[in-house]
């Protein structure tokens, strides 16, 4: 969802009047805008941190490599495996790690996602740290049974005698502009229905390294989705040494008073642009929040913001129906109605059809 499209929605809701109990998930169609081949956003780097020592300029895939390097160096039981990871992976996230740590700790697997995750569960149950890569998030579905029925439930069904909490599953995620049907999906909502796992999506290199290390060290199986369009487009100053960013804590990136904008991954940069446009062109003050962790998500930060602003707009790349925006909006609606009796909601998601490869479709 491009910034201009979200700005048009804010223009419609720019007045101060509240809509009592209204859920506007499908706004009245506006005049058609010129069609674009890809959504536009400008990546704005986070300020360089000073709390973690020396920093280095890294793009997103380099920050992932740095996190994996730190994890392998710290934990002698940690192993990385997946399709082509020994050669650096299709996005180069594991480049150089086999040479540094050996073929027994960084190795290729057959093209079998169910086998990759099943093997990872076994490694984690045995007490080692398993870091599995699914080459694209679109291909995670053959492993759905292993993730949902095995990894997520292992601790519960054994009465906490056994668990596979040392399992982390990485996967490139989201739109890239030319990925077509099988290289553009955002499947986080499929897994958000399942207790027992954690789901994390970073917005840039600085966040990615800290969140990935937290996932690897967390004692629950985690799915870490990496916005592939940002692998090279996003560049920030990232600490060389390991550091952690807490899971399940949303981050308020911009304070506001009129409307709360919530997103994760790439869409965070879209709503940051929207917030600037809304302030400059409409005089609307937007509070911008990066959810960061999809499950379990930070209800307190989101609800506290909406109680303040009285309006909420959620933007994600996944389809509207059953998207995670629905979970957020229903929770906020209940909390806000009980608190103030009124809230206006809008969800901005992709049209519900497969993504074409040809730019003229």
Active site residues: 113, 183
Nearest Cα neighbor of 233 from 40, 36, 37 is: 40
CB 154 within 8 A of CB 260: no
CA distance 87 to 89: 6
Nearest Cα neighbor of 290 from 262, 309, 315 is: 262
CA distance 292 to 197: 15
Residue 168's CB: how many other CB atoms inside 10 A? Answer: 30
For residue 152, what are the CA distances in angstroms to 133, 188, 211? 17, 15, 20
Quick one: how far is CA 80 from the chain centroid? Answer: 21
Tokens for 273, please give them. 């642009």
Query: Which residues, in sequence order, are CB contacts of 159 under 8 Å at separation 6+?
Result: none
Place of tokens 């608190």: 339
CA distance 76 to 101: 10
Residue 335's CB: how many other CB atoms inside 10 A? Answer: 18
Residue 284 in 3-state DSSP? Answer: coil
For residue 70, what are the CA distances in angstroms to 65, 210, 225, 344? 9, 11, 19, 44
Place of tokens 């990925």: 179
**What is the spatial order of strands in the sheet that 344-350 belongs to?**
22-23, 344-350, 311-319, 259-263, 286-290, 251-254
CB 213 within 8 A of CB 74: no
CB 154 within 8 A of CB 122: no
User: Which residues are registered as beta bridge partners of 348?
Assistant: 315
CB 169 within 8 A of CB 120: yes
Q: How many residues does the chain have?
A: 361
């Amino acid at each position: 969802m491009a910034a201009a499209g979200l700005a048009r929605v804010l223009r419609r809701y720019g007045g101060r009047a509240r809509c009592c109990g209204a859920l506007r998930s499908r706004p009245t169609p506006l005049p058609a805008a010129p069609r674009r081949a890809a959504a536009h956003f400008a990546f704005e780097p986070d300020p360089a941190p000073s709390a973690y020592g020396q920093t280095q300029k890294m793009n997103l895939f380099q920050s992932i490599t740095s996190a994996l390097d730190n994890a392998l160096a710290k934990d002698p039981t940690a192993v990385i495996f997946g399709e082509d990871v020994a050669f650096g992976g299709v996005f180069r996230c594991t480049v150089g790690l086999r040479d540094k740590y050996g073929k027994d700790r960084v190795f290729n697997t057959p093209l079998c996602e169910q086998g990759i995750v099943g093997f990872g569960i076994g490694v984690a149950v045995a007490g080692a740290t398993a870091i599995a890569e699914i080459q694209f998030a679109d291909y995670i579905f053959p492993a759905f049974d292993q993730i949902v029925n095995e990894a997520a439930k292992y601790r519960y069904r054994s009465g906490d005698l056994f668990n596979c909490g040392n399992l982390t599953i990485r996967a490139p995620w989201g739109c890239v502009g030319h990925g077509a049907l099988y290289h553009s999906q955002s499947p986080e909502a499929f897994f958000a229905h399942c207790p027992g796992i954690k789901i994390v999506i970073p917005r840039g290199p600085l966040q990615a390294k800290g969140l990935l290390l937290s996932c690897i060290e967390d004692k629950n199986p985690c799915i870490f989705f990496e916005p592939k369009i940002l692998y090279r487009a996003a560049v920030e100053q990232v600490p060389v040494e390991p550091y952690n960013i807490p899971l399940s804590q949303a981050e308020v990136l911009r304070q506001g008073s009129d409307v709360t904008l919530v997103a994760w991954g790439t869409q965070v940069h879209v709503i940051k642009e929207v917030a600037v446009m809304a302030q400059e062109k409409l005089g609307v003050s937007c509070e911008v929040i990066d959810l960061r962790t999809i499950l379990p998500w930070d209800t307190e930060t989101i609800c506290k913001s909406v109680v303040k602003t009285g309006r909420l707009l959620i933007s994600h790349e996944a389809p509207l129906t059953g998207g995670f925006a629905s979970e957020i909006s229903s929770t906020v609606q209940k909390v806000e109605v009980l608190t103030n009796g009124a809230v206006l909601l809008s969800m901005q998601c992709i049209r519900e059809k497969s993504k074409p490869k040809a730019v003229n479709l």
